[in-house]
Amino acid sequence: MSGTLVLVRHGQSEWNLKNLFTGWRDPDLTELGVEEAKAGGKALAEYGIKFDVAFTSDLVRAQRTCQMVLDAVGQSSLETIRDQALNERDYGDLSGLNKDDARAKWGEEQVHIWRRSYDVPPPGGESLRDTGARVWPYYLTEILPRVLAGEKLLVAAHGNSLRSLVMVLDRLTKEQVLNLNLATGVPMVYKLKADSTVASKEVLGDMSAAH
């Protein structure tokens, strides 16, 4: 058996709370976001995993989530690699706009297409496919080889950068990935086979509590 890959989406950010398109902008976590990150860390501590290295994005909300998870599992000083390849997708001209204001300006249908389509980017920004085009090579060159060598890796990143990864791991079609929503602060634990396919997947945390 190869190693373990743990994916965690950052906790709620200040702009999530304000209903703003965030993308590559860099707001911090809210108090709820901090609690979500700590809860994810607690779930991993109870799971009993120890990591060999952590990866996160170039944005503070993911970095703080990563650090709080590492604090919770007793690995505060673990080597952590930051790279913008793992950043949230770039919302371009929508960044910083309230989602309701964007709908008023461009129309409900157009904004929905930008948000939920696979390959239609917002003006000046990235589609989910564009996001995957930078996440997938980074995963293949920097992350996957270490998992296949038997290491245990933490990746704390963003809704769309992680959706593009889960799309590959779970073998989702471009239609299926549109309906994929990742809960904030909830770890997904993948164990991989030697051929890089998924041997098992566990989602840590009581998802029913969110309903």
112 classed as catalytic = no
Tell whether 25 is in a known binding site. no
- Is 134 one of the annotated binding-site residues? no
Active site annotation includes 88? yes
- CA distance linking residue 60 with residue 82, whole number of Å: 10
Name the H helices within the chain.
14-17, 31-47, 60-72, 99-106, 108-116, 128-138, 144-148, 159-169
The answer to whether 190 is annotated as binding is no
Annotated catalytic residue, options 10, 36, 126, 158: 10
Handedness of CA 57, 59, 62, 64 (dihedral sign): positive
Choosing from 36, 88, 126, 158, the catalytic residue is 88
9 belongs to an annotated ligand binding site: yes
Q: Is 159 annotated as a binding residue?
A: yes
The verdict on whether residue 16 carries a ligand-binding annotation is yes
In whole angstroms, give the CA distance from residue 88 to residue 82: 13
* Of 72, 62, 77, 64, residue with least CA distance to 10: 62
> Is 90 annotated as contributing to ligand binding?
yes
- List, as residue ranges, the binding site for substrate: 9-16, 22-23, 61, 88-91, 99, 115-116, 159-160
The residues that are catalytic are: 10, 88
- List, as residue ranges, the binding site: 9-16, 22-23, 61, 88-91, 99, 115-116, 159-160
